Structure 1
Amino acid sequence: MRAIRETPVHRDPDERSERVTTLAVGEEAVVVATGAHWTRVVVPDQPSSLDPAGYPGWVPTAALGATPLDVARGRLGAAYVWGGLDCSGLVHLAFRACGVRVPRDAADQAAAAAPVSEPEPGDLFFFGRRGEPVSHVGFVTEVGLLHATEGRGVVEEPVPAERRETLLGAGRLG
């Protein structure tokens, strides 16, 4: 599994216990045991004499995910930053955190995606004006759309009317 956000790793399954290390966004965590709210992991990219498989500890189960959509959801509420955590930057970050290399810009992501006629959560919606390059991208979700939007940051919402008017299609990366 991978961290969907920067996550403290604790010695025991209790947020008051000692913080022993931190998982970076997208960092791999090998699951050793799972409880109701906490997961015991080892972190292979953090070698340790405590465990030959990697640094051991406990993380909140909700901080781990396996898909780019999980990673993107971990960024909900983050500020929009043009050229950083903008719409295509969110997609790029989420896939990269899962070890999948995808293009950085929305138009290039659309060109690399396999078109889908029945989008599923985790697929991408592509938006723009007909005859122009794709100018916006977001994840398909059960709610509708998870995307980074100027002024509101990373949000998950039903597809707004102004976006439905410019929906060009859906695709699948990876």
Structure 2
Amino acid sequence: MATEPAVGFVATPVATLWSDPAAVRPVDAPALAPRADIAAWVSRMDHDQRVGECVVSQLLLGERVLVDELRPDGWARVVAVEQPAARLDPRGYPGWMPAAQLAFTAGPEPSLVVDAVTTGLRDRPGGRVVLPGVVLGTRLAPAGPPVDGFQPVHVPGLERPLWASGGAVAPWPSPATGVLALARRLVDRVYVWGGMSGDGIDCSGLVHLAWRRLGVRLPRDASDQADATAPLPPGEERPGDLYFFARPGRPVHHVGFVSDRGPGHLLHACYRQRLVVEEPMPAERAATLVAAHRVVSGPR
């Protein structure tokens, strides 16, 4: 009889999901620690290392995974069930991560979401930041009423709650702003292949994360996002809709938001510029534009 996979919960602010443990490079050490330092990791990488395909995605604090394998060398083969990836695994996005970045005790159901691009959790109200780098879209479970403008929250792997600034969290889901305004908060952030945080993000990660903040679960990869959204007749796109790009005879490889800055303007995490940018669509990008789609459920 097959054994059901264990359920784990991400216990570091941002955990990186790798294609294979053997693909990890020396420069990746800060991302492998039990409390990964994603800002230090991204700052150490050069222009080319930021687009290495050893990274497939990233997971946020508290995100649930199925653990298919725990290896003696400390690596776990997991499936990120909150990141649909139908082409890879019907259960979610598969990959490898350090087992030390997981906790295996379920906490209360989250009802808050981080609304800041990045925030830190403190050891007491107004106290020392002990868990920096918690990012936009992270769901948290309250651990009691606010005190002096700080909200106690449960953190996987910790017995005592930590404290978030009340201004950094909001009820979840709470469509307090449009998806385009959320994505715009990440303009000028660094492009990192597979990234999904303010320290580094890719094109489909930007789309997934902005909609995730609003309580809408989109797939992780651009091609799957195209399958999960509704195509529009030419010229009917509106700000906040999605542009998809593909080369002739190839699957979708890029996605970005329709901008409200003018006809044909695009907000996207740009591989070429290695930044999140909002710009008139370049001619070479327009040549591969294949469709505009709309997310048909959830807040706009």
Same fold (TM over 0.5): yes
Instruction: Provide the secondary structure at the position in 1 that maps to 2:248.
Output: coil
The 3 A distance-change label for structure 1 pair 44 and 67 is farther
1:1-174 matches, cutoff 5 A: 3=115, 5-6=117-118, 24-26=135-137, 45=142, 47-50=144-147, 57=166, 66-84=177-195, 85-117=201-233, 118-143=236-261, 144-150=265-271, 151-173=273-295, 174=297
Q: Equivalents in 2 of 1:126, 1:80: separation in Å?
A: 18
Q: Give the counterpart letter for 1:5 in structure 2.
A: V
Shift of 1:72: 1.0
Total equivalences in the alignment? 146
Deviations 1:2-52 (A, max 9, x none): 7252358xxxxxxxxx79999841368xxxxxxxxxxxxxx984633538x
Q: Equivalents in 1 of 2:292, 2:128: separation in Å?
A: 42
| Pairwise CA RMSD | 3.1
Instruction: Provide the secondary structure at the position in 2 that maps to 1:80.
Output: coil
CA contact (8 A) 1:5 1:71 kept: no
Q: Give the counterpart letter for 1:75 in structure 2.
A: L
Which 5+ residue runs of structure 1 have no aligned equivalent?
Answer: 9-17, 29-42
Partner of 1:37: none
Shift of 1:67: 2.6
Q: Equivalents in 2 of 1:26, 1:102: separation in Å?
A: 13
Q: Equivalents in 2 of 1:93, 1:102: separation in Å?
A: 9
Which 5+ residue runs of structure 2 have no aligned equivalent?
Answer: 1-112, 121-125, 153-164, 169-174, 196-200
Q: How high is the TM-score relative to the length of structure 2? A: 0.42
Q: Equivalents in 2 of 1:66, 1:20: separation in Å?
A: 30
The 3 A distance-change label for structure 1 pair 46 and 98 is farther
Instruction: Provide the secondary structure at the position in 1 that maps to 2:210.
Output: helix
Q: Give the counterpart letter for 1:50 in structure 2.
A: V
Q: How high is the TM-score relative to the length of structure 1? A: 0.69
Partner of 1:31: none
* Structure with higher RCO (Cα < 8 A, 6+ apart): 1
CA contact (8 A) 2:187 2:277 kept: yes
- The structure that has the greater radius of gyration is 2
CA contact (8 A) 1:20 1:57 kept: no
The 3 A distance-change label for structure 1 pair 50 and 86 is same
The 3 A distance-change label for structure 1 pair 74 and 4 is farther
Q: Equivalents in 1 of 2:219, 2:128: separation in Å?
A: 35
Partner of 1:36: none
Identity in percent:
48
The 3 A distance-change label for structure 1 pair 100 and 20 is farther
Q: Give the counterpart letter for 1:70 in structure 2.
A: A
